[in-house]
Amino acid sequence: MNILILQGSPRANGNTAWMAEEYKKAAEAAGHQVTLVNVSRKKIAGCLACEYCHNKGNGACIQKDDMQELYPLMADAEVLVLAAPIYYFTLNAQIQAPIQRMYCVNAPAKVRKMVLLMSSYSPNVYDGALAEFRDICNYWQVENMGYVSAKIDEQKTDDTLSKIQALVEKL
Ligand SMILES: Cc1cc2nc3c(=O)[nH]c(=O)nc-3n(C[C@H](O)[C@H](O)[C@H](O)COP(=O)(O)O)c2cc1C
């Protein structure tokens, strides 16, 4: 399958980056085609709600920032993996921006399955992110394949790696 991983942490060697990389390695080993994008290194603004896309734009966003690189990748992806740290009890802003910029096309055309990878310092801080992820999967009518979370003592561990590999095996 064609898999797109959006990695939202600005910390290049952090836990979220590790989770995304391990998902990529396992998926490639299983024969999937994987593209990993560190969206925190991209300039992707929030949606302007200008409605250009739904009027004159014919589905194209008026903002010519790095989201323009992502639109074709989103259009081709069959599996979308969101990898993000928890900031203030939700997915961080860097991962929210590209999701909300999909407003112009409503939903990624070919995505059938979605996966969520999250890291945090504390336990029990995932309710908001999980509710959002569930609702987006429902809205886009895609399969919610589940999630792996890693709080501080679970980061870069064999146990977390096994959970990531188990999610890949479900593909
Ligand atoms: C701005 C900011 C807000 C954060 N908010 C939370 C939070 O609400 N709950 C929590 O458990 N950790 C919070 N953290 C900690 C990160 O989620 C945690 O360190 C995570 O592992 C970072 O992932 P990374 O290594 O991929 O950058 C926050 C960190 C930052 C920088």
The pocket around ligand 1, CB under 6 angstroms, is made up of 9, 11, 14-17, 85-89, 119-122, 125
Angle between helices 93-100 and 67-76 (to 10 degrees): 70
Give, to the nearest 10 degrees, the angle between helix 15-29 and helix 158-169: 40
Measured in residues, the chain has a length of 171
Q: Which residue's alpha carbon is nearest to atom 21 within ligand 1?
A: 120
Ligand 1 atom with the shortest distance to the CA of 155: 21
Single out the residue of 29, 46, 30, 33 nearest to residue 5, CA to CA: 33
- Global confidence as pTM: 0.98
Top mutation candidate among 5, 21, 120, 126 for ligand 1, by most atoms within 8 Å of CB: 120
Q: Which CATH number fits the domain 2-169, given the four candidates 3.40.50.1100, 3.40.50.300, 3.40.50.360, 1.10.20.10?
A: 3.40.50.360
Domain ranges of the chain: 2-169
Q: What are the pLDDT digits (tens) for 49-74?
A: 999 999 999 999 999 999 999 999 99
Q: Give the per-residue pLDDT at 13.
A: 95
pLDDT for the residue 69: 97
For β-strands 90-91 and 79-87, DSSP reports them as antiparallel
